[in-house]
Structure 1
Amino acid sequence: MRRGAAGLVWRAVLAGGLVCGIGLLPWLAHTDPARTVLKARSADRDPTPEALADVRDQLGLDDGPLTLLGRWFAGLVRGDAGHSWISGAPVLPDVLRALGVSLLLMAVALAVAAATAAVVCARTLRLGARRALDGRPAGGAASAVLAALPEFLTASVLATVVGVHLGWLPALGWYGPRWTVLPALALGLPAGAVLGRLLDDLLPGAFAEPWARAAAARGVPGRRVARQAVRRCLPGLLPNLGLFAVGLTGGAVAVEQIHDIPGLGRTTLQAALAQDLPVLQAGTLAMLLLAAASTGLCRAAARLLAGPALRDGALPTLHRHPPSAPSGRPLLLGAVLLAVVAAGLPRDPLALDTGDRLRPPSPQHPFGTDALGRDLLARIGHGALDTLLLATGIGAACLCLGLLLGFLPRLSTPLVDTVNAVPPVLGALLVTAVAGGGPATPALAVTAVAWAPLAAHTAALLRQERATLHLTATRALGASRSHLLRYELLPAVLPSVTRHALLRLPGIALALASLGFLGLGARPPAPEWGLLLAENQPYAERAPWAVLAPAAVLALLGALAVTAAGGTRLPRPIRANAAARERRGEPVRAV
């Protein structure tokens, strides 16, 4: 009871602090909210002193930010979230309407994600125990690429190819069931591929457990064993599923922008850009409440599925399967990526030729040209260094931070729920307001939100590993905490979380570029990969190669990261040597 009450208090403090920080955003960033609001209301109106004074008087800005915050919280207690500073309409109905749109989109996207995860794991489920013993690599190249593609990239390709060129489904608007298909696919396909890869990583350990072997020996149908294996692995995945659900609702800003969907993420982003504080505060609070409810339900379901074994320390471990067989695929993909970068470096990425605007691929320009006639191969080659180094550095920092906080679940769990509810763009605005602009701002903003899924994954795996039989026995024999951490917990948790971090590496690269739209990240004419995609998207219908070239490079980076992660394992000399001696019939020395 005390832990639950402390967790609720900690969540309330974090949520209140975040909402208050948003309410102080213009003053922290040293901007004039009256000028921003006036520009949002009428871009053609001159910001004369009289007009700005009129806006300040209407909104009560002269009373100060703390007074405005107090009034907003007082109205919230009465069920009134205030009125929009831009339109003057009541905030609560608009936010609830946007939340309903996002929840519907989330439900359809989760169905797509579940179907995608089932396809990714189909081979492992079909092979069953044989897959657990032969050490074959998980998944395939297609799932590796799909898992690594960010939603923004998938939405762009689907809108361009399926919506515009083929005309099979509507690409813009929100008017009925047919309008949900493309955005749901854009959100659900990458999320389902990531969840499928994470599940596929745990299934061999479940099939190697004694109950699965006994069931196979007794002739139990493979489908029943597969269903129980999935049920056995779900407790370690459900916390991440809750994070995905929140991300599909509030964090899908780019997809809602591309498909012109009036969802909660887009509403919050527009309010942040216009500094419409009542709408921004109400939207953020809605995302925080949704995050708390979603992750709470997923954690309760995980405890229910694990049953009393989690409490009694009677679970078998899921991390005893052997390393994946070595594969030459990462070397091949790495060679292709290196060849592309090497071919682009001798070319000039900034050379303009307006006579060669949007030229298709040719011997002179193998990847074509962009809207200013610049060679795309040159821009991709020169943008590789900044993109890869910065994304890799952020990924490593997020991995270390996620592991550290994952081992402190009482501290990190409420923090993960709060951080995951904040869209990266809003996080960037908060970081800029506190730390100021500069080259480090994009890295700080992405790092501030990208560690949360890794911490949740670490905490979920750690919770199960601490309840395993071998750890209970080792602890009973007098093993110290440092011994358990070094030889049992870290070898069980670190490989899976490292593979998860590599899955998210290309998404980090594109998240950095997406901040360029707000002037917080890479700016033109920088040849950053994600920025190339963003710059050329308006010309996707006339020149699809301008979008597909950087998209293909990002997909190649994702495939390389995921396939290289397939063999990520840590040596566990004590347990491995003990198992070998046990198979040879030699005595095993207790730890």
Structure 2
Amino acid sequence: MSPTPRSLISRPGPTALWRAVLAAGVLCAIGLLPWLARTDPALTVLKARSADRDPTPEALAAVRDRLGLDAGPLRLLGRWLGDLAHGDAGHSWISGSAVLPSVVQALGVSLLLMAVALTAALGTAALVCARTLWRGAAGRPTGSRTGGVAATLASLPEFLTASVLATVVGVQLGWLPALGWYGPQWLVLPALALGVPAGALLGRLLGDALPGAFAEPWALAASARGLPGRRIARQALRRSFPGLLPNLGLFVVGLTGGSVAVEQIFDIPGLGRLTLQAAIAQDLPVLQAGTLALLLLAAVAGGAARGTARLLLGPVLRDGALASPHRPGPPARSPLPFAYGAVLLGVVVAGLPRDPLALDTAARLRPPSWAHPFGTDALGRDLLARVGHGALTTLALALAVSAAALLTGVVLGLVPRVSGAAVDTVNAVPPVLAGLLVAGVAGSGPYTPALAVAAVAWAPLAAHAGALLTQERATAHLAATRALGAGPLYLLRHELLPAVLPPVTRHALLRLPGVALALASLGFLGLGAQPPSPEWGLLLAENLPYAERAPWAVLAPAAVLALLGALAVSAAGGVRLPGRRPRRGRPARRRSRQQPRHPSRHPSRQPSRQPEPAAPAHGTAAPGSAR
């Protein structure tokens, strides 16, 4: 007998226990970070406190005695947890001040910045999806035409956007303050730098789901009956948005703890900046308290996202009454992927014959010319050569990490009870901190950034896959197919994967430019390939100080990243995996054990209990709404 739809909702007890185990594992790994990195914590603390003091054995012994390092990492961790139970997060190893007040203050700053950035992200997402909503409300074909714009916005590096806004809007035009944290005016520029790329990605995901909602029978019937288009559009949003709420929860945590570069550029005393500084200085009490705050925020944001999804869907998760599954249409036919791919390939081919390491100090920061089509950098190196050679390592690693993240995300998304807590926990760890943990275990090397990014890149894909799977399991057609005798293997192969895999694959392609940038950013921090490696992210970071004097030095790598994003999004439009449909008029040679048999031909396989009838508004009203 098939399980009841109520079993689709995970039990809070085991999930809470699993979440607590994962959080304890992350805190233990952070507590062991100095010893995993095979460095002397006393030496790091001594250099951070007084860089000019010689690390004599007597000085190091004094630091160890004061901090209690001779007791070992496990006893230190146990002591920290015991004090935390009494409301004491300890004192900073560097400054000696209490940890809890500084972490709470930094968390408040980051939450305020996150709220304003999330508002900017939702506004950007609305602009990206406006044309799709308008066409759907008017009863016209709803193909997403904003992929290139959304890809360009989503692929912009946050630190590049923040630097341009601070330089142009804050310094040159003087419209808004560029540095500091003294009032509401200081919120605008960093919120835009964080919210616009996140909103473009969120809008592109929503624009990918809306055509399927407008093509469902309830929307077609409502349009045929003459219901107002804005009402149909509103219900289509309600139908599509729950599948994106887990990723919106991930954005909340990412905008709070992952905005390290933006906080550094605008001099904002937020939690991401505090956690990064503590990780570099190995200030364990501050690092553990900051990470614990991010874990708690991730748990709250994840629970709120799941509760909001159930509220938006109404009784459908409880009664299995969704009108129809999302069925993707035929592959989109557009010449844009070939055009973007040809331009990107042409740039790479043109740059490969040139020497990316040749120095010419007499040609420093030269503008684009026939000799140097992309100009030169601060050392006189040809930027076209560096962009072309950097594509080999950047794109290869980014594709490998994205493929691994997609596979991991889909597999874990199929078991949402197990992956839900893991997604929230992993997403609470900023990529920089993950890079430090991976470097501590595996050591620094050319593949350390790939391991670090792969360790966290699967989380949004697993959240997306789990949300889509939950909606698909609650559909009426799946309950009917199960009642006809279909087994789990048949449902997984013919129903669940065809509905879940294409949108998650398109989501992975949307994140490809971000993966490439994260890889290079970790390499720039000393965790991977070092200069003079021509990775695209390193090119951005190296030439960023000269953006005002030589903007072409920054625009060249930023343009290829934006081109990569446009190529990924336009190619994602053709990712389809239509379900297999039996051919009419030809009997099947073999019949799988899992394939459902028609009840009229096999009376013994008829279910003993008929499924509950669907809601009466199935063909005429949006899911979860009253007639």
TM, length-normalised to structure 1? 0.95
Give the C-alpha shift of residue 324 in structure 1: 4.8
**Take 2:598 and 2:143, find their aligned partners in 1: how far apart are those partners?**
31
Give the C-alpha shift of residue 329 in structure 1: 0.5
**Take 2:571 and 2:165, find their aligned partners in 1: how far apart are those partners?**
27
| Match among 286, 303, 307 for residue 314 of structure 2 | 307
Q: What is the aligned partner in structure 2 of residue 48 from structure 1?
A: 56
**Percent identity among equivalent residues?**
75
Once the two structures are superposed, residues 62-96 of structure 1 have per-residue CA deviations (whole angstroms, 9 ceiling, x without a partner) of 12212211221111111110111111110000000
Q: What is the aligned partner in structure 2 of residue 541 from structure 1?
A: 548
| Match among 337, 342, 347 for residue 349 of structure 2 | 342
Instruction: Give the AA of the match of 2:329.
Output: P
Once the two structures are superposed, residues 405-441 of structure 1 have per-residue CA deviations (whole angstroms, 9 ceiling, x without a partner) of 0001111111111000000010011111222232221
Deviates more, 1:52-61 or 1:442-451: 52-61
SS in 1 for 2:527: coil
Deviates more, 1:41-50 or 1:373-382: 41-50
**Is residue 422 of structure 1 aligned with residue 463 of structure 2?**
no
**Is residue 158 of structure 1 aligned with residue 165 of structure 2?**
yes
Q: What is the aligned partner in structure 2 of residue 70 from structure 1?
A: 78
**Take 2:381 and 2:223, find their aligned partners in 1: how far apart are those partners?**
61
Give the C-alpha shift of residue 155 in structure 1: 2.2
**Is residue 14 of structure 1 aligned with residue 22 of structure 2?**
yes
Once the two structures are superposed, residues 511-551 of structure 1 have per-residue CA deviations (whole angstroms, 9 ceiling, x without a partner) of 01111233112210001111100111122122111111111
Instruction: Give the AA of the match of 1:59.
Output: L
Instruction: Give the AA of the match of 2:271.
Output: L
Instruction: Give the AA of the match of 2:326.
Output: H
Change (3 A) 1:321 1:26: closer
**Take 2:287 and 2:21, find their aligned partners in 1: how far apart are those partners?**
18
Q: Within 5 A, what are the aligned runs for 1:400-439?
A: 400-439=407-446
Give the C-alpha shift of residue 140 in structure 1: 3.7
Q: What is the aligned partner in structure 2 of residue 583 from structure 1?
A: none
Q: What is the aligned partner in structure 2 of residue 79 from structure 1?
A: 87
Work out whether residues 138 and 197 of structure 1, in 8 Å CA contact, stay in contact via their aligned partners in 2.
no
**Take 2:386 and 2:328, find their aligned partners in 1: how far apart are those partners?**
43
Give the C-alpha shift of residue 449 in structure 1: 0.4
Give the C-alpha shift of residue 114 in structure 1: 0.7
Unaligned runs of 5+ in 1: 579-588
Q: What is the aligned partner in structure 2 of residue 582 from structure 1?
A: none
Change (3 A) 1:2 1:317: closer
Change (3 A) 1:8 1:511: same
Once the two structures are superposed, residues 178-223 of structure 1 have per-residue CA deviations (whole angstroms, 9 ceiling, x without a partner) of 2111111111111111111111111112222233223323332222
SS in 1 for 2:575: coil
Give the C-alpha shift of residue 392 in structure 1: 0.4
Q: What is the aligned partner in structure 1 of residue 263 from structure 2?
A: 256
**Take 1:566 and 1:259, find their aligned partners in 2: how far apart are those partners?**
37
Deviates more, 1:345-354 or 1:154-163: 154-163
Once the two structures are superposed, residues 35-70 of structure 1 have per-residue CA deviations (whole angstroms, 9 ceiling, x without a partner) of 111111122222222222221122111122122112
**Take 2:325 and 2:57, find their aligned partners in 1: how far apart are those partners?**
67
**Take 1:387 and 1:347, find their aligned partners in 2: how far apart are those partners?**
18
**Is residue 33 of structure 1 aligned with residue 33 of structure 2?**
no
**Take 1:153 and 1:475, find their aligned partners in 2: how far apart are those partners?**
51
Q: Within 5 A, what are the aligned runs for 1:408-557?
A: 408-557=415-564
Once the two structures are superposed, residues 375-406 of structure 1 have per-residue CA deviations (whole angstroms, 9 ceiling, x without a partner) of 11110011111011110010000000000000
**Take 2:467 and 2:184, find their aligned partners in 1: how far apart are those partners?**
36
Instruction: Give the AA of the match of 1:450.
Output: A
**Take 1:540 and 1:39, find their aligned partners in 2: how far apart are those partners?**
33
**Take 1:43 and 1:160, find their aligned partners in 2: how far apart are those partners?**
32
SS in 2 for 1:84: coil
Q: What is the aligned partner in structure 2 of residue 360 from structure 1?
A: 367
Q: What is the aligned partner in structure 2 of residue 145 from structure 1?
A: 152
Work out whether residues 216 and 326 of structure 2, in 8 Å CA contact, stay in contact via their aligned partners in 1.
no
Give the C-alpha shift of residue 323 in structure 1: 2.7
Work out whether residues 116 and 189 of structure 1, in 8 Å CA contact, stay in contact via their aligned partners in 2.
yes
**Take 1:103 and 1:463, find their aligned partners in 2: how far apart are those partners?**
30
Work out whether residues 138 and 566 of structure 1, in 8 Å CA contact, stay in contact via their aligned partners in 2.
no
Change (3 A) 1:553 1:160: farther
Q: CA RMSD in A?
A: 1.9
**Is residue 167 of structure 1 aligned with residue 174 of structure 2?**
yes
Change (3 A) 1:209 1:197: same
Once the two structures are superposed, residues 20-48 of structure 1 have per-residue CA deviations (whole angstroms, 9 ceiling, x without a partner) of 11111111111011111111112222222
**Is residue 566 of structure 1 aligned with residue 573 of structure 2?**
yes
Give the C-alpha shift of residue 236 in structure 1: 0.8
Q: What is the aligned partner in structure 2 of residue 328 from structure 1?
A: 335
SS in 1 for 2:39: coil
Deviates more, 1:53-62 or 1:289-298: 53-62
Work out whether residues 444 and 528 of structure 2, in 8 Å CA contact, stay in contact via their aligned partners in 1.
no
Instruction: Give the AA of the match of 1:410.
Output: R
**Take 2:210 and 2:91, find their aligned partners in 1: how far apart are those partners?**
51
**Take 2:598 and 2:194, find their aligned partners in 1: how far apart are those partners?**
49
Once the two structures are superposed, residues 445-494 of structure 1 have per-residue CA deviations (whole angstroms, 9 ceiling, x without a partner) of 00000000000000000000011111111111111211111111111011
**Take 1:321 and 1:329, find their aligned partners in 2: how far apart are those partners?**
20
**Take 2:157 and 2:555, find their aligned partners in 1: how far apart are those partners?**
14
Unaligned runs of 5+ in 2: 1-8, 585-596, 600-627
Instruction: Give the AA of the match of 1:416.
Output: V
Q: What is the aligned partner in structure 1 of residue 118 from structure 2?
A: 110
**Take 1:157 and 1:474, find their aligned partners in 2: how far apart are those partners?**
55
Q: What is the aligned partner in structure 1 of residue 391 from structure 2?
A: 384
**Take 1:325 and 1:61, find their aligned partners in 2: how far apart are those partners?**
61
| Match among 240, 262, 268 for residue 233 of structure 1 | 240
**Take 1:219 and 1:269, find their aligned partners in 2: how far apart are those partners?**
56
**Is residue 295 of structure 1 aligned with residue 302 of structure 2?**
yes
SS in 1 for 2:178: coil
**Take 1:2 and 1:228, find their aligned partners in 2: how far apart are those partners?**
26
| Match among 265, 273, 281 for residue 272 of structure 2 | 265
Give the C-alpha shift of residue 161 in structure 1: 3.1
| Match among 87, 90, 100 for residue 92 of structure 1 | 100
**Take 1:181 and 1:474, find their aligned partners in 2: how far apart are those partners?**
52
**Take 2:263 and 2:324, find their aligned partners in 1: how far apart are those partners?**
41
**Take 2:304 and 2:549, find their aligned partners in 1: how far apart are those partners?**
46
**Take 2:474 and 2:244, find their aligned partners in 1: how far apart are those partners?**
16
Work out whether residues 151 and 255 of structure 1, in 8 Å CA contact, stay in contact via their aligned partners in 2.
yes
Give the C-alpha shift of residue 256 in structure 1: 1.4
Instruction: Give the AA of the match of 2:427.
Output: N
Deviates more, 1:139-148 or 1:534-543: 139-148
SS in 2 for 1:573: coil
Deviates more, 1:121-130 or 1:444-453: 121-130
Work out whether residues 135 and 324 of structure 1, in 8 Å CA contact, stay in contact via their aligned partners in 2.
no
Give the C-alpha shift of residue 352 in structure 1: 0.7
TM, length-normalised to structure 2? 0.89
Change (3 A) 1:161 1:366: farther
Instruction: Give the AA of the match of 1:21.
Output: A
Change (3 A) 1:317 1:520: farther
The structure with the greater share of residues assigned to helix is 1
**Take 2:408 and 2:85, find their aligned partners in 1: how far apart are those partners?**
36
**Take 1:315 and 1:2, find their aligned partners in 2: how far apart are those partners?**
19
Once the two structures are superposed, residues 126-164 of structure 1 have per-residue CA deviations (whole angstroms, 9 ceiling, x without a partner) of 011667x73634524211211233423322332333334
Work out whether residues 81 and 90 of structure 1, in 8 Å CA contact, stay in contact via their aligned partners in 2.
yes
**Is residue 224 of structure 1 aligned with residue 236 of structure 2?**
no
